[in-house]
Amino acid sequence: MLEIKNLSVSLDDKELLHDINLTVANGARHLLSGHNGSGKSTLVSTIAGTPEYTITNGKIIFDGRDITHENMTTRALLGIFVGAQNVPEISGLTVLSFLKHAAIAHHHFDTGHDLSMGEFLAKLEDARTKLDIPQQWLNRSINVGFSGGERKRLMLLRLVMTQPKFAILDEPDSGADATVQQQIADIIHEMTDTTFLFISHQKNFTDMIKPTNITTLSDGKIMIE
């Protein structure tokens, strides 16, 4: 699903990742581990296409396509989902509106056709019910006034609605209590058509996920065991 070849990445002329080679198999639950500052978030941000990072060498191949120079929007439409550790609050943009526009964009990109409001609402109701998301959350602004655990549940709602090919989850367990962590793990195991690359520092959570592969970073390099 993902192949990274000889990737080096800089930020403000400082090299943060050095000659990274990584393969994530289709259907994997791949754990990216390492101490704080080792380069994990830089790597997943680069895969997602975050523009402030500069690729100075190497390639990123996603689902057989070279996406090294594709922008973040194209990568998202191709099926790369990002569950960031620190998410913004967006006052005035409701959860419902955000999900609607995202669903419409993905549906049109995949099929060339418009998504009807009826189809969207039916899909949203199924996802909301599955995750036990209160109806009133849909009319609230994105992440405004939501606790850490509630923000993780909103991330799960986006994940279930999107059904991406590849999901990057940067510390999805952070700020989530044991119940929400279990819910995250259950959804990951249920979504067998999605490949996961995730970061976590909590052994109890990684034990729930049962990673199929583990890659460890240190000082911007992959540790060879």
pTM of the full predicted structure?
0.90
Using CA of residue 39, residue 40, residue 42, residue 47, what is the dihedral sign? positive
Q: Can you tell me the distance from the alpha carbon of 224 to that of 126, in angstroms, rounded to the nearest whole number?
A: 44
How far apart CA 143 and CA 127 sit, in angstroms, is 18
**Domain spanning 2-222: CATH superfamily:** P-loop containing nucleotide triphosphate hydrolases (3.40.50.300)
Q: Please tell me the predicted confidence (pLDDT) of residue 225.
A: 56
Distance CA 85, CA 98 (A): 19
Instruction: Write out the two tokens for 37.
Output: 């500052």
So what's the pLDDT on residue 54?
92
Block means of pLDDT (10 residues each) for the chain, 225 residues, are: 95 92 95 89 92 94 95 94 85 93 90 89 92 93 89 91 93 87 93 94 91 92 78
The structure tokens listed for 141 are 């602004």
Whether the CB-CB separation of 27 and 34 falls below 8 Å is answered with: no
State residue 137 phi and psi, 5-degree precision.
Answer: -60, -30
pLDDT at 37: 84
| Residues 10, 72: Cα–Cα separation, whole Å | 17
User: Exposure of 111 by Cβ count < 10 A (0-12 exposed, 13-18 middle, 19+ buried)?
Assistant: exposed
Determine what percent of the chain falls in helix, strand and coil, rounding each to the nearest 5: 40, 30, 30
